[in-house]
Structure 1
Amino acid sequence: MVREIMKRNRTPYNTTLDNNLVKKLKFLSVEINKRQNDLLEEAIEDLLKKYESKIEPKKS
């Protein structure tokens, strides 16, 4: 399984989340028939876009 993940240019990433957030994520996942991982990736992409313009690139 790990080999398959690496072939798809993916990295395993573990963390802990608030119990209520996990519960809501599970319900949403079932409701819209989308994997929880896909929802988390979408949320991270949105978060990065939100802060992208607020972070100045470091000068070399």
Structure 2
Amino acid sequence: MKENRGLKNRIAISNAIDKSLYEKLKQYSDDTGIPISKLLDKSIAMFLESIERN
């Protein structure tokens, strides 16, 4: 299998999240057309910024 699935600027990860969180995330992605990967990028960045301030 090709390492990192041919991704050049991203890293593929595998993780498990709460079902209700995923359903809400998926619905928001469907409603807005924003890919889940981009929503996760933004969410993680916002979280890291919040802990750096404290």
Query: Above 0.5 in TM-score?
Result: yes
Q: Which runs of 5+ in 1 are unaligned?
A: 55-60
* Root mean square deviation of aligned Cα: 1.5
More helix by share: 2
How many residues are matched?
52
Question: Percent of aligned positions with the same letter in both sequences?
Answer: 27
User: Stretches of 4+ moved more than 4 A in 1?
Assistant: none
Structure 2 alignment gaps of length 5 or more: none
State how far apart, in whole Å, the 1-side matches of 2:20 and 2:5 are: 32
In our comparison, the structure showing a higher alpha carbon Rg is 1
TM-score for the superposition, normalised by structure 2: 0.82
